[in-house]
Amino acid sequence: MSTKIKELELEASRLTRETHKLGIPVMIVFEGVPAAGKTRLSNELLLTLDAKYSSFIATASPTPENLRYQFLQKYWNTLPGKGDINIYFRSWYAHYIDYKVNGIKHLQYKDYHVLRDQIDGFEEMLENDHYEIIKFYIEIDEKKRQDHIRQTKENPLTRWKAQEYENVIPDDIYLEEMHKILNDPNQKDWKVIDYTEREQATVNMYEHIIKRLKKAIKAYRERVVERDGLFTKDYKTDLFENRLTKVKKDEYNAQIEKLQQRMLEIQFALYERKIPLILVFEGMDAAGKGGNIKRIREKLDPTGYEVNAISAPTDVELAHQYLWRFARDMPRTGHIEMFDRSWYGRVLVERVEGFATVDEWQRAYHEINDFEKMWTDEGAIILKFFLSLDKDIQLERFKAREVKPDKQWKITDEDWRNRDKWDLYLEASADMIQKTDSSHAPWYIVPADHKKSARIAVLKRIIKTCETALWGVNHD
């Protein structure tokens, strides 16, 4: 090893200790055809990093189980936390080429460029959250590469390595697709390294990493943090003024039984067609989110659904991009996921309480739209319900919870504090609905002053939407 490489290793090691200390997550991507030098370069780098906070993520062609999840699921699941480093041996780019070349999920993706859009959105979210993404494309003299492949194939112990990925994506097609990506004006920051001369390639790799880490550390130290919900004085809105007629008890009992039975039939049809269903519930405290979820799942097969009741993020969750904890809980094909509160906390409680910076909550609307589209692009159904509630009725429900022993656990000091900020939550909720209501993931405002009427309305909406998606039923 040359003196220069040793010096570069020490500097890279020092800087990664600094990024770890500052909490800057780093993602280093290696792309290139087989036998181009990715393995040696990535291993060289891995040995330089502290194993306590570095991981190696290899991309292979998806298994049948992998295909039950969203295109980027693996990369969401394995996102590094603050201060951690991931090395990607092949990445979401090779994954995209695999999908396109082999027609993976061709029924969902008529145009595979949608996956490029997902990748762009994914990287943009991470970079806005101060992830440092360093991308290498490794080239090599073709004669030298073929010599290495021949030697690898001649050795029975390494033959599998030469065949593993080239059997999935032919080299010429991989090269063609990667060069389209490298030449795309929207793609930035790729560093192309020629591995023909190994020592110079290693020097180039370390010099680029050092340059990028120094830039990331400088940007971290120059950050300006502003926390302000930017609320309107004396805010008023009529968005939540609609009311539902109170349903009679005998009518409710007759309707709910039929709707729940139909919901079970819908669940089986979704499973058979491998369509995931994602139900999101937001709304004022005591509006009945939990009660609605209970009635939806009361007759469902418990092996096919999960409920996520979202509370304050843990230390581990805070150490990741804010959508990470939700992405990991998204359903596989044919399953139902219900969220009692959700990723919309970023633009609700985090905006109101000042947990998110102005930049974080303002850009979250766009990020959430992109996030939801990643799942609906693959055929998932996303329905979002906001349960609105009259302020006086909320007070009645709070007081009732305080005196009923079986309900007291539902009322907390935080509920009363939130009530004091009613108008702030009202404005935050209205902004959220107006900026994230989309054709692929619509919002439904459900008046919840009458709990039973709200439950009927929610179940009817879910069933109608699913009937349309499953069988083309027109409910207009």
Please name the residue that has the structure tokens 């009945």: 288
> How far apart (Å, rounded) are the C-alpha atoms in residues 211 and 369?
33
Q: Which of 384, 425, 391 is nearest to 287 (CA)?
A: 391
pLDDT at 42 (0 to 100): 96
Written in H, E and C, the secondary structure of 127-186 is HHCCCEEEEEEEECCHHHHHHHHHHHHHCCCCHHHHHHCCCCCCHHHHHHHHHHHHCCCC
pLDDT at 187 (0 to 100): 83
* The model's pTM: 0.95
Give the total residue count for the chain: 476
| CA distances in angstroms from 69 to 276, 380, 426, listed in the order given | 9, 10, 35
pLDDT at 108 (0 to 100): 94
Q: Which of 53, 59, 284, 78 is nearest to 174 (CA)?
A: 59
Please name the residue that has the structure tokens 């009613």: 422
Q: Amino acid identity of 188?
A: K
Q: Tens digits of per-residue pLDDT, 322-345? A: 999 999 999 999 999 999 999 999
pLDDT at 201 (0 to 100): 97
pLDDT at 407 (0 to 100): 83
- Contact between 318 and 342 under an 8 Å Cβ cutoff? The reply is no
CA angle 66, 72, 73 (to 5 degrees): 55
pLDDT at 1 (0 to 100): 67
- Contact between 356 and 326 under an 8 Å Cβ cutoff? The reply is no
pLDDT at 166 (0 to 100): 61
Q: Amino acid identity of 412?
A: T
- Which stretches of the chain score pLDDT less than 50? none
- Contact between 37 and 138 under an 8 Å Cβ cutoff? The reply is yes
pLDDT at 313 (0 to 100): 97
Q: Amino acid identity of 196?
A: T
Q: Amino acid identity of 210?
A: I
pLDDT at 163 (0 to 100): 62
- Contact between 120 and 186 under an 8 Å Cβ cutoff? The reply is yes
> How far apart (Å, rounded) are the C-alpha atoms in residues 435 and 368?
10
pLDDT at 164 (0 to 100): 60
Buried b or exposed e, range 298-312, using 16+ CB within 10 angstroms: ebbeeebbebbebee
pLDDT at 404 (0 to 100): 86
pLDDT at 331 (0 to 100): 98
> In 10 A of CB 169, how many CB atoms?
22
pLDDT at 475 (0 to 100): 87
Q: Tens digits of per-residue pLDDT, 387-416? A: 999 999 999 999 989 888 888 888 888 888
- The dihedral built from the CA positions of residue 276, 322, 426 and 436, taken in this order, carries a sign that is negative
